[in-house]
């Protein structure tokens, strides 16, 4: 008999729900919707795409969202799609992970994708690395860069994405606001709705107990035009 799910872990059931539209995912990852679609499209009838396949028009789950975000980060660092596909296929098979880029920690040097070997062997030590994009070659290094935009649970699951960059308070966390982009626990779309309803900046910030700068950051993230002559005192 399976152990009962603890109430504190109920958020994990939401990780697989298709809540994110392709256009939203593309905006969050700062890529085009066409790129998101192409990464999920099989290369041929016998070759998988860069990410898990999906039907045209389907929304993405939180785990798929994070995989897109991670791949986007890899690509901006200079890693080729060929090596990204190789790493995903290797880790998926070795660790039986359906969404390896969301379920495990990776590093990159701009050429290859690396992982701490301790994710495969718990007693491997913290300096031994595995080159996931080269079928699991082992190496020793402490200069490979981690993906700083993501925070992880102890089991390796990416549970927080600094979606607007490390200098921003805006994050996507499946435990907060059902995974919507949020700042200080309030979904950014809520600030947008209040602003577009004609409310003043000071009133919005007072209602939610956040700073004016937090509200402005949320509005900018939501693409609100702030050049309307209203009170924008920070």
Give domain status of residue 166, yes or no: yes
Mean pLDDT comparison of 1-15, 59-73, 97-111, 215-229, highest-scoring range: 59-73
Q: Tokens 């290797």 label which residue? A: 90
Give domain status of residue 135, yes or no: no
Q: What is the mean pLDDT of the chain?
A: 89
Quick: pLDDT tens for 2-37.
444 455 678 888 899 999 999 999 999 999 999 999
Q: For residues 181-196, give the mean pLDDT.
A: 97
The pLDDT assigned to 51 comes to 96
Give domain status of residue 205, yes or no: yes
Q: For residues 132-138, give the mean pLDDT.
A: 87
Question: Long-range contacts of range 41-50, CB-CB < 8 Å, 24 or more positions apart?
Answer: 48/85, 48/89, 49/85, 50/81, 50/84, 50/85, 50/88
Number of domains in the chain: 1
Give domain status of residue 130, yes or no: no
pTM of the model: 0.86
CB-CB contact of 28 with 21 (8 Å): no
List the CATH number of the domain containing 198.
1.10.10.10
Give domain status of residue 146, yes or no: no
Domain that holds residue 229: 162-234
Give domain status of residue 82, yes or no: no
Give domain status of residue 113, yes or no: no
Give domain status of residue 218, yes or no: yes
């Amino acid at each position: 008999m399976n152990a009962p799910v603890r109430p504190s872990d109920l958020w994990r059931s939401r990780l697989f729900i298709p809540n994110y539209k392709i256009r939203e995912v593309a905006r969050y990852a700062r890529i085009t919707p066409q790129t998101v679609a192409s990464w999920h499209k099989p290369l041929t009838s016998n070759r998988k795409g860069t990410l898990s396949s999906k039907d045209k028009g389907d929304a993405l789950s939180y785990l798929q969202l994070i995989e897109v975000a991670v791949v986007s980060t890899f690509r901006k660092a200079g890693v080729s799609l060929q090596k990204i596909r190789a790493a995903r296929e290797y880790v998926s098979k070795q660790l039986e992970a359906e969404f390896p880029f969301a379920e495990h920690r990776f590093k990159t040097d701009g050429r290859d994708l690396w992982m701490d070997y301790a994710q495969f062997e718990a007693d491997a030590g913290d300096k031994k690395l595995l080159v996931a994009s080269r079928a699991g070659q082992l190496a020793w290094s402490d200069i490979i860069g981690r993906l700083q935009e993501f925070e992880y649970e102890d089991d390796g699951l990416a549970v927080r994405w600094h979606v607007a960059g490390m200098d921003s308070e805006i994050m996507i966390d499946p435990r907060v606001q059902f995974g919507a982009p949020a700042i200080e626990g309030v979904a950014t779309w809520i600030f947008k709705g209040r602003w577009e309803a004609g409310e003043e900046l000071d009133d919005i910030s007072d209602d939610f107990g956040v700073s004016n700068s937090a509200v402005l950051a949320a509005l900018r993230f939501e693409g609100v035009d702030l050049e309307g002559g209203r009170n924008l005192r920070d």
